Amino acid sequence: MKLTSKYYFFMLSILLITSCSSDGSMDKDEEKPSITVNYNEGFPQGCVLLAKGETYNFRAKVTDNKALASYSIDIHNNFDHHTHDDQVTECDLAPIKQAINPLIFIENYSIANELTSYEINIPITIPDDIDAGDYHCAYSVTDQTGWQSRTSIDIKIIE
């Protein structure tokens, strides 16, 4: 009976040791996706003026080393002069003001078929009844493993 117990203990130990060993052959994704509007059709560029009532195609290129999963577009007011850590262009800002009826556009979209590159191209109409002034357009992209990148652009909405 002692021999059987020792045998089971030995086999269990071997099983635990082999199941917990590290496997260096796994192909882990440790790279964030990238996002840019810095190309000819990229929109909006920093400090661009957008007119109320007009429709614009918001365009950005996103890439990943493995597979893209989703992206979002967020347009929100900058009436308080806040910043985002990835902004590169500084625009002349209007005086700080209270929002009465600001544009708030936040939409999420999926990217199917495990693509590694994709061009965002979303038409957005600027409503006539919103506050004119300083805004941010923020793009975000997420890959299938959850890595995320963002970029924010200063824009102005005019009458």
Q: Are strands 48-51 and 148-158 parallel, antiparallel or unpaired?
A: parallel
Strand partners, 77: 135
pLDDT-based confidence at residue 13 (cuts at 50, 70, 90)? low
Express each pLDDT in 17-61 by its tens digit.
655 555 555 678 899 999 999 999 999 999 999 999 999 999 999
Residue 19 has a pLDDT of 58
Both tokens of 156, joined, read 């102005």
| Start-end of H helices in the chain | 2-19
Answer whether residue 11 shows pLDDT above 70. no
| Residue ranges covered by each domain of the chain | 30-158
Report whether CATH 2.60.40.2550 matches the domain 30-158.
yes
Backbone angles phi, psi at 116, to 5 degrees: -100, -10
Both tokens of 27, joined, read 């192909």
E-strand spans in 5-132?
34-36, 48-51, 55-63, 68-77, 105-110, 117-125
Express each pLDDT in 92-145 by its tens digit.
999 999 999 999 999 999 999 999 999 999 999 999 999 999 999 999 999 999
Q: Does the pTM exceed 0.75? A: yes
The CA-CA-CA angle for residues 107, 112, 74, to 5°, reads: 15
